[in-house]
């Protein structure tokens, strides 16, 4: 059943990124430039997540969520591809001068912002639904909010890395649940445009 592939790929990507987070918390180096294991986890998870998001959005396998859900999935797909492209640029093209002004890092930053925006859009599309979809929507909304709030507080020295890590973990759980929901949706590819609700 090919329409379930996208959901399964999202689950794989969530587990991969979760493994990277666990390795980082265990004190292992997770820099994709230095560690082949974490490089494989990062690139594999990002590619699986990007293709899985595109596939789910393209075939509308989540109870016909409409244009907003598909737009959010598209943002995530583009964001993850940008992370892959940016990391490849950082790996093979040495930065000169201020790293923060390097185009590769701007691509990576854009990838993160696109993925976060996609999660928020999907969360808004799901939170108005009932049952498991509302839970997924709440997680996908709470993750980016906690993540950004944590970085804002950390920037002013009010808090350590706890909130950003918590936000990333919440986002991963929401994305994992999204993948499970897509894989178990029971709908094949749509023959026409999905109605927006």
User: What pLDDT shows up at residue 115?
Assistant: 93
Query: Average model confidence (pLDDT) for the chain?
Result: 81
pTM over 0.75: yes
Mean pLDDT of 147-170: 79
**Helix residue spans in 93-190 (DSSP H):** 103-127, 132-155, 162-183
**Extents of the domains making up the chain:** 2-183
What distance in Å separates the CA atoms of residue 72 and residue 54, rounded to the nearest whole number? Answer: 10
pLDDT of residue 59: 74
- Stretch 8-33: mean pLDDT: 84
Residue 57 pLDDT class (50, 70, 90 cuts): confident
Q: What is the pLDDT of residues 65-121, one digit of tens each?
A: 678 888 899 999 999 999 999 888 877 765 555 555 577 888 988 999 999 999 999
Q: At what angle do helices 67-92 and 36-59 cross, to 10 degrees?
A: 150
Higher confidence at residue 159 or residue 23?
23
Return the pLDDT at 117.
Answer: 94
Tokens representing 13? 């990507």
Q: What is the pLDDT of residue 195?
A: 41
Give 89: exposed, middle or buried? Use CB within 10 Å, 0-12, 13-18, 19+. middle
């Amino acid at each position: 059943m090919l329409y379930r592939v996208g959901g399964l790929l999202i689950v794989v990507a969530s587990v991969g990124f979760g493994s990277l987070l666990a390795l980082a918390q265990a004190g292992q180096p997770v820099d994709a430039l230095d560690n082949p294991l974490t490089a494989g986890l990062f690139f594999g998870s990002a590619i699986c997540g990007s293709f899985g998001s595109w596939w789910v959005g393209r075939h509308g396998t989540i109870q016909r969520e409409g244009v907003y859900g598909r737009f959010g999935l598209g943002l995530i797909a583009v964001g993850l591809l940008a992370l892959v492209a940016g990391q490849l640029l950082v790996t093979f093209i040495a930065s000169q001068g201020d790293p923060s002004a390097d185009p590769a890092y701007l691509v990576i930053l854009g990838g993160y912002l696109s993925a976060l925006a996609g999660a928020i859009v999907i969360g808004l599309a799901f939170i108005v639904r009932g049952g498991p979809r509302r839970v997924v929507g709440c997680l996908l909304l709470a993750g980016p909010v906690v993540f950004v709030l944590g970085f804002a507080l950390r920037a002013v020295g009010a808090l350590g890395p706890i909130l950003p890590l918590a936000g990333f973990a919440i986002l991963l759980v929401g994305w994992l649940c999204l993948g499970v929901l897509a894989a178990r949706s029971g709908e094949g590819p749509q023959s026409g445009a999905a109605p927006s609700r």
